[in-house]
Amino acid sequence: DAGVTQSPTHLIKTRGQQVTLRCSPKSGHDTVSWYQQALGQGPQFIFQYYEEEERQRGNFPDRFSGHQFPNYSSELNVNALLLGDSALYLCASSFYALGQGGNEQYFGPGTRLTVT
């Protein structure tokens, strides 16, 4: 049973460039959430995708955008990179269960983005 996978593992970009990160959810999961974890902090919610639509969004600028594909995989795009975007980007998958509040999300290993 494959868990959540992310690519690439590491990435170095220059300020002003654009980056795309990829995520494949755990088998059987249909919802993908993205989080940003800065050094010494807990993960912060960026947004969530279900049925190829953005369902929830955290306090991140429009430079952060995403997409979900019919096979439930997802991409996170960041435009006009800033030095402050350097962080670990985590993808989490879960199952959309109507009427239930249970919320276990399973995380991938993350992509370490460094902006120079």
Q: Per CB under 8 A, which region of 12-20, 64-72, 76-84, 89-97 contacts another protein?
A: 89-97
Q: Indicate whether 55 belongs to the interface with another protein (CB under 8 A).
A: yes
Among 19, 25, 33, 68, binds another protein (CB under 8 A): 33
Q: Which residues are 74's β-sheet partners?
A: 23, 68
Q: Indicate whether 60 belongs to the interface with another protein (CB under 8 A).
A: no
Q: Which residues are 13's β-sheet partners?
A: 115
Phi first, then psi, for residue 111 (nearest 5°) are -120, 125
Among 1, 14, 28, 100, binds another protein (CB under 8 A): 100
What is the smallest separation between the CB atom of 53 and another protein, expressed in angstroms?
A: 11
Please report where in the chains the tokens 């991409």 appear, as a residue.
Answer: 75
Among 17, 56, 114, 116, binds another protein (CB under 8 A): 56
Residue 21, amino acid: L
Provide CB contacts within 8 A for 94, sequence distance 6+: 29, 31, 33, 103, 104, 105, 106
Looking at beta carbons only, is 14 or 103 nearer to another protein?
Answer: 103
